[in-house]
C-alpha cells in the first residue's frame, strides 16, 4: 500500500529496491539516493505494519536497501505522503522551514521522514531521544542545531489542513481514525492471502507465512539466500552488484516474530526486529542500553533483525559478543528435526557456521538475569553513532564473596569470528577479583587473539583496547575501586 491505496506493483526483478521503484517507476523523486547502503538517511521512508496488538505501527527504514517485494501487505509513506500540492505543509515540514533546517536540501526529505516517525510515536521526546532519532541521517551543510530545533517546534504547530488521512492518523496513545482503521483492514486482508512467490528474469523470491513452508523451501532450494531485514543482503545488490538467484524472505512468518519469556529464558524469534529485540533485552539487562543505542541507527534497527545479525556472523557484529557473554544459545531447525547449541559454537570460521543442509536459525535463547551477576559490553569505534566497531568487548561475571565463581568474556573485531577469550577466563576463574588478578588476565589475553590491522584499526591498538576494556569492567564492578586502582599502573 502506498498512502492509503493498494498498489499492484509488477515486479520484473525481485531484488529491485523500494528506492528504485519510487524514483524510476512512480516518479516520486522526493526520496533521494545518497550512499546506497543505509548509512546517510537520504532515502528514509516510513513503513507501516501491524504490531502484536493489531495496531498500525509506523517506523522509519532505508528504502535504498529494502527489496520491493518485502513491502507486500505493508504500508509505505514517503515525503510526498505528508503534503500534496495545494495542501498545508505537515507540522514536521513546516517546522523545518520555520527553523531554517535546510540549506542544500538534498538530505531534508530523509530528515522529514525520520522526524515524522518520531512525531507519530512520541509525544514529548527528550533531546537524547531526538539525537538518537537523527543518528541515521547525515547533514553535510545545514548543521544539526536548527534540525533539532525543528524537532521541538513540530509539536507546537497545529494541523490546520485535515485533507490528508495521514495527518489524522493516530499519535501514540490515541484511538485509530476511521481512515486508519480502513488501512489496518486492508493490511489484514492482504496478509490473509496466499504466500507470495515471484519468478522473473531467472530469479525467484518466496515469502512463506509458516514454518513448514519455510522448511520445505529451504530444503528444495539449498543454495537460496534467506532474507530478513536486508540491512546486509541489500548491500550485496546495491554495492557488490551481486545477482541473487533465489531469495527466501522470512519476515512474514508469525512464528519467527515472537518473543517469549519464561522458564528462566528470553526466546527471540529470528525475524524479530533489532528495535523490538533490543527493547526486551534492555528491560532485563539495562547495562546493554548504550551498546544497543550505538548499534547502527534507528532505520537499520527497525528493518534489521537480531536473528539476521547472528546468522550473518560478521566478526564485527555488535550483538554477538554480548550474547555470547550472556550464555545465549541458538535454536536451529529443518524439516525433520531441530537442535540447540551455544552461540559461540555456531561460528566455525569466517562466514562459516554450523548449519546442516536445509537448516536455518529459528530463535535465540537468552538466560534471564540473576541477582549478583554483572554484565557489561563496550564498543570502541571512530564515531559514536552509526559506525562499525574496531573492538567490541562483553563481560559476564559471577562472584562468590570476592572470588570469581564464573566469568565469560567475548570480543568482536579481534578474530575472524566473534569469540570467547578462553585463556583470559581461565586466568580469572576461581581467583580473587582484584586488580592484580585482572592484570594477569590482561597478559593472558595476549594469547587468545592475533588481531589484524585494517581501515578501522591497527592490531596493536586492538590488543591494547581489549585489555583496557577488561580493566574498565573491573573498575566498574570492584567493591573497593578506589583502593584497587593503584595496583595497576597503565602502560606497564
350-400 residue pLDDT tens: 999 999 999 999 999 999 999 989 999 999 999 998 899 999 999 999 999
Question: What mean pLDDT value characterizes the chain?
Answer: 91
Q: How far is CA 452 from the centre of its chain?
A: 26
Least confident of 36-50, 160-174, 298-312: 160-174
CB distance 288 to 302 below 8 Å = no
Per-residue pLDDT at 480: 52
Per-residue pLDDT at 108: 97
Confidence of residue 438 (pLDDT cuts 50, 70, 90): very high
CB distance 402 to 433 below 8 Å = yes
Least confident of 133-147, 169-183, 195-209, 439-453: 169-183
CATH code, residues 254-367:
3.30.465.10
Please determine, for residue 485, whether its predicted confidence score (pLDDT) is greater than 50: no
Residue spans of beta strands (DSSP E) within 386-432:
391-400, 403-412, 419-420
How many CB atoms are closer than 10 A to CB 40?
Answer: 24
- CA 114, CA 151: separation in Å to the nearest integer? 10
Q: Which fold has domain 1-193?
A: Ubiquitin-like (UB roll) (3.10.20)
- CA 94, CA 97: separation in Å to the nearest integer? 5
Is 361 in a helix, a strand, or coil?
strand
Round the CA-based radius of gyration of the chain to a whole number and report it.
24
Confidence of residue 193 (pLDDT cuts 50, 70, 90): confident
- CA 253, CA 214: separation in Å to the nearest integer? 9
Confidence of residue 482 (pLDDT cuts 50, 70, 90): very low
Per-residue pLDDT at 58: 94
Domain ranges of the chain: 1-193, 254-367, 373-487
Please determine, for residue 163, whether its predicted confidence score (pLDDT) is greater than 90: no
175-185 residue pLDDT tens: 556 667 888 88
Least confident of 14-18, 50-54, 233-237, 419-423: 50-54
192/399: higher pLDDT: 399
Residues 6+ apart with CB under 8 A from 234: 17, 37, 38, 64, 65, 66, 67
Confidence of residue 161 (pLDDT cuts 50, 70, 90): very low
Confidence of residue 487 (pLDDT cuts 50, 70, 90): very low
DSSP class of residue 87 equals S
110-140 residue pLDDT tens: 999 999 999 999 989 999 999 999 999 999 8
Instruction: Give the cell for residue 72.
Output: 507486500
Looking at the structure, give the CATH architecture of the domain made up of residues 373-487.
Answer: 2-Layer Sandwich (3.30)
Q: What are phi and psi of 239, to 5 degrees?
A: -110, -40
Amino acid at each position: 500500500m502506498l498512502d492509503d491505496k493498494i498498489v499492484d506493483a509488477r515486479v520484473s526483478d525481485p531484488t529491485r529496491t523500494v528506492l528504485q521503484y519510487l524514483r524510476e517507476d512512480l516518479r516520486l523523486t522526493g526520496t533521494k539516493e545518497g550512499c546506497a547502503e543505509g548509512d546517510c538517511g537520504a532515502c528514509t521512508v516510513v513503513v507501516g505494519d501491524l504490531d502484536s496488538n493489531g495496531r498500525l505501527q509506523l517506523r522509519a527504514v532505508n528504502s535504498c536497501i529494502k527489496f520491493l517485494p518485502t513491502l507486500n501487505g505493508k504500508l509505505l509513506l514517503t515525503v510526498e505522503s505528508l503534503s500534496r500540492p495545494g495542501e498545508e505543509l505537515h507540522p514536521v515540514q513546516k517546522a523545518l522551514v520555520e527553523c531554517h533546517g535546510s540549506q542544500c536540501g538534498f538530505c531534508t526529505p530523509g530528515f522529514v521522514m525520520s522526524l515524522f516517525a518520531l512525531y507519530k510515536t512520541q509525544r514529548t521526546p527528550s533531546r537524547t531521544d531526538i539525537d538518537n532519532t537523527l543518528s541515521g541521517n547525515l547533514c553535510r551543510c545545514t548543521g544539526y542545531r536548527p534540525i533539532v530545533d525543528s524537532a521541538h517546534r513540530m509539536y507546537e504547530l497545529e494541523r490546520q489542513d485535515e485533507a490528508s488521512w495521514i495527518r489524522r492518523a493516530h499519535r501514540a496513545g490515541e484511538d485509530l481514525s476511521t481512515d486508519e482503521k480502513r488501512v489496518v483492514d486492508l493490511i489484514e486482508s492482504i496478509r490473509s492471502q496466499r504466500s507470495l512467490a515471484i519468478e522473473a528474469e531467472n530469479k525467484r523470491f518466496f515469502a512463506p507465512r509458516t514454518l513448514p513452508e519455510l522448511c520445505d523451501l529451504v530444503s528444495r532450494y539449498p543454495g537460496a539466500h534467506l532474507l530478513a531485514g536486508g540491512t546486509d543482503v541489500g548491500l550485496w545488490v546495491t554495492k557488490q552488484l551481486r545477482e541473487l538467484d533465489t531469495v527466501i524472505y522470512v519476515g512474514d512468518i508469525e512464528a519467527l516474530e515472537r518473543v517469549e519469556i519464561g522458564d528462566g529464558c528470553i526466546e527471540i524469534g529470528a525475524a524479530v526486529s533489532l528495535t523490538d529485540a533490543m527493547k526486551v533485552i534492555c528491560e532485563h539487562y539495562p547495562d546493554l542500553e548504550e551498546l544497543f543505542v550505538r548499534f547502527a541507527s534507528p532505520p537499520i534497527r527497525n528493518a534489521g533483525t537480531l536473528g539476521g545479525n547472528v546468522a550473518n556472523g560478521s566478526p564485527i557484529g555488535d550483538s554477538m559478543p554480548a550474547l555470547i557473554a550472556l550464555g545465549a544459545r541458538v535454536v536451529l531447525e529443518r524439516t525433520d528435526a531441530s537442535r540447540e547449541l551455544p552461540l559461540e559454537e555456531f561460528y566455525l570460521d569466517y562466514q562459516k557456521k554450523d548449519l546442516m543442509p536445509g537448516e536455518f536459525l529459528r530463535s535465540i535463547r537468552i538466560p534471564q538475569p540473576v541477582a549478583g551477576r554483572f554484565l557489561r559490553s563496550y564498543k570502541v569505534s571512530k564515531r559514536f553513532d552509526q559506525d562499525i566497531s574496531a573492538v567490541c568487548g562483553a563481560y559476564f561475571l559471577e562472584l562468590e564473596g570476592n572470588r570469581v565463581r564464573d566469568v565469560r568474556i567475548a570480543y568482536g573485531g579481534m578474530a575472524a569470528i566473534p569469540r570467547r577469550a578462553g585463556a583470559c577466563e581461565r586466568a580469572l576463574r576461581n581467583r580473587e577479583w582484584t586488580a592484580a588478578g585482572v592484570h594477569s588476565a590482561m597478559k593472558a589475553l595476549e594469547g587468545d587473539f592475533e588481531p589484524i590491522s585494517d581501515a578501522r584499526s591497527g592490531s596493536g591498538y586492538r590488543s591494547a583496547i581489549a585489555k583496557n576494556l577488561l580493566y574498565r569492567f573491573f573498575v566498574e564492578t570492584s567493591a573497593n575501586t578506589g583502593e584497587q586502582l593503584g595496583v595497576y599502573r597503565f602502560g606497564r
